[in-house]
Homo-oligomer: A and B are copies of this chain.
Amino acid sequence: MTERTERKDDDHSIFVGGKPFMNYVTGVVMQFTTQNAKEVIVKARGKFISRAVDIAEVVRKRFLENQVELGNIKIDSEEFENKEGRQVRVSTIEISLMRK
């Protein structure tokens, strides 16, 4: 019998957008340190995908070096109609970071 209750992985994710870079880094680090997450998923769409990779790399190589490693990385895309009625495709990424 374990003392703490099990959480679903999806409870620990962060969606990357246009806020300052360090907001996201701190957000991920805090989920590991103060919320005791075993896995945090860094998610992004479109042009923010590059940023999500930067954030994951800075967390695992600098802030939580030797404590966190890369898990699964998923990419996908969704097609939808934009305001002008044109079909547009937007790519997505999900990067899993896991406590070692």
Taking beta carbons and an 8 Å cutoff, which residues of A are in contact with B? 46-50, 53-54, 56-58, 61, 70, 73-77, 79, 89, 91, 93, 95
16 A-B residue contacts at CB 8 Å? A46-B50, A47-B50, A49-B53, A53-B75, A53-B77, A53-B93, A54-B89, A56-B75, A57-B77, A58-B77, A58-B89, A61-B77, A61-B79, A70-B75, A73-B74, A73-B75
Per the bound structure, the CA–CA distance linking A93 and B93 in Å amounts to 12
Q: With contacts A50-B50, A54-B77, A70-B75 known, what are 10 further pairs, Cβ within 8 A?
A: A46-B50, A49-B50, A53-B91, A54-B91, A56-B75, A57-B75, A57-B89, A61-B79, A73-B74, A73-B75
CA distance A57 to B89 in the complex (A): 9
Bound Cα distance A61, B89 (Å): 10
Number of copies: 2
A48 to B91, CA, bound (A): 13
